[in-house]
Structure 1
Amino acid sequence: MTITQLQYVLAVAEYQNFTLAAEKSFVTQPTLSMQIQKLEDELDILIFDRSKKPIQLTEVGKKIVDQARNIVNESGRIKDIVDQQKGFIGGEFKLGIIPTIMPTLLPMFLNNFIRKYPKVNLKIEELSTEAIIQKIQEGHLDAAIAATPLHNENIKERVLYYEPFVAYIPENHRLHKNKKVDATDLNIDDILLLEDGHCFRDGVINLCKNVKAYQDDHFQLESGSFETMIKLANEGLGMTLLPYLHTMDLKENEKQSLRFFNEPNPAREVSLIYHKSELKIHIIEALQDAISGIIRGAIAFQNVEIISPVR
């Protein structure tokens, strides 16, 4: 068997279609089908049940795919070893970033990184934490930037920074007069939340420690963006919580509604995450250095309490 055959098997397992798998693998469909057939003949088993639509893995095929993914990942280590030996930092690198981090962090480090490492072909995708975990495990992402800890045995985490939560409390709100706030001051019933699927939303719910009240609430107002939540808060529909970096771009009049928490500041842990196989670790380390060097000057908070992003 060959690495190429195993790559073709992984493609068909993912797309459940020989034609689409061939297209994504940049080969003709007959070539891909023939190589998979040769592998099945050699092993004297069927990896795929072709009678089903879409194509399904057989029971033994599922085990083969799990092992094939390990083998293909490990084969990538050889190029990594050579690149590190030569001191070469380059090639394609697929990076995922969650939506509540991407608009504030990416502009801070991207220019410096591509200027310092011009041979890295960085491909960046905005994804939910759930999609990121799946893509890292399937080998479709080299790394990602997300809120942690995720408690996933297949994923390693390198902490980049701790980002405090900041309350946005408009003039008409009961807490506006407070110079600082405590988590005990919060009531989930009047906090505007991001829509489901955002880990920052889960962090806010964990901070309030009042999930039952939230679930029983007869009025729920959710949004996909912090900008919308700020506008809704200004209209008298409640308050909201923001990540610290997002507050730096607010208008001066909006900053008057910001309230920091009493110490320890509730905060989210932001990390660079990647598969435990540690492929392309030299690029991961370069990314970590680039981001950490810039972020130190932006966030000076030390006394923080990490709020889990996992519900």
Structure 2
Amino acid sequence: MKHFLRVLILLLLVSAAGTFEVSAQNPAQSKKYKKKAKAAKKKKKDPYTPVYHDADADHDGVPDSRDQCIHTPKGEPVTTFGCPYDVDFDGIFDYEDSCKNEAGPRENHGCPWGDRDGDGIMDNVDDCPDKAGLKTYHGCPDTDGDGIPDNKDKCPTVPGIVKYEGCPPPYSDIDGDGVEDYSDLCPSTPGVKTNRGCPELKPADKAALQKAFDNLLFESGSDVIVSSSFQSLDDLAKVLRNNLSFKLYIEGHTDNVGDDDANLDLSKRRAISVKNYLISKGVAGTRLSTDGFGEMKPVDTNETPEGRKKNRRVEMHILQ
């Protein structure tokens, strides 16, 4: 009975202490109990605590087994997944991004494309990023208005032709009228400079052409001809119907207010509107040709209202 009480008391002490070192009267038994107690302590370790024995190639503190960017430069701050930060979310890590707070393409070192010349065409698609130009010419201007952009024009300030890379051809005046062939609307027929190298018109025909020019009006920002212009255009159509050898060259122009490309488009559409009106009055379309130059060929300054008004025009030239 006494032995039983001793065992009971020992068990109660073990339960109260939680952790204990067992000791028995028999040394062999004590050694056995100590061995079991030591094994029990090992089993009590938290099974959910991960123990990493993994490599960390880039030394960023994130084991390679869960490091999604194992070649991060030494010392670069990383996320819990081992990748460097990308504040602007453009796919370029901050340490290699020249514009950390603005998203941009890798080709531009993580910075957005700019517009150095302010022509509305981003530098990456602008053939002339340092000089304002037109979308039609991929961001390049056409200073001399010859239809050849400056970046492809060897004579950018002098009108020329494609054959001579934007330069005027060697002097040539087949009809000998003093107007060089490349700018002569009637290169095979002697004429006068005032009519672009075409023969001088009869006073009545010249007056009809001038009247049509003076009275031609369009609705603001549109290619719709104002009705007050109809009568003078009717008189011009009559001249053309009565002179079947006559042809008419119509070219549109604008001032420099507004978008360059929109102005170019508007000038072309206005010239076509005049052509269509004359066709509706019985003039064959094959006798009418059109072109538009936008703001490229001003006849006066664009710095004053009067000058801009002169530049907003549709010129008409009778060719014989």
- TM-score, with length taken from structure 1: 0.22
Bigger radius of gyration, 1 or 2?
A: 2
Higher RCO (CA-CA < 8 Å; seq separation 6+): 1
The answer to which structure has the higher helix fraction is 1
